Amino acid sequence: MAETPDRITLRGLRAHGRHGVYAFERERGQMFGVDAVLEVDTVAAAAGDDLEKTVNYADLARDLYAVLAGEPVNLLETLAQRLADVCLANPLVGAVEITVHKPQAELGVPFDDVTVAIRRERP
């Protein structure tokens, strides 16, 4: 059985963004959310009580927020990939699962949330 990787999880990060395929989504924007689950070996950080040997989740939150609030894209799939790329830019991250939330999407029927979830690994 494979060893379970250590995980650092950031849930419920929110930002106002202008993502979507419709002009009204780009004009007025809406809230988007992201959950990020990073696979990180935390042994060295824990042994030395050293922030430099793990992922600084405050920095990560700011970087993910910048993507959510930043340059608009049409698809949640594209947004999720950009968020995953931010996480994988840190060489300590072996893999990441990203879930993008669009709870204010206009679907014409009652719903709680629309999400797209992806998992990416370091090559």
What confidence tens digit (pLDDT) does each residue in 20-40 have?
Answer: 999 999 999 999 999 999 999
Nearest residue to 94 (alpha-carbon basis) of 32, 5, 4, 34: 5
Q: Which helix (H) or strand (E) holds 11?
A: strand 7-17
The helix/strand/coil state of 33 is: strand
What confidence tens digit (pLDDT) does each residue in 38-59 have?
Answer: 999 999 999 999 999 999 999 9
Which class does domain 7-121 fall in? Answer: alpha beta
Task: Point out the residues that are catalytic.
Answer: 102
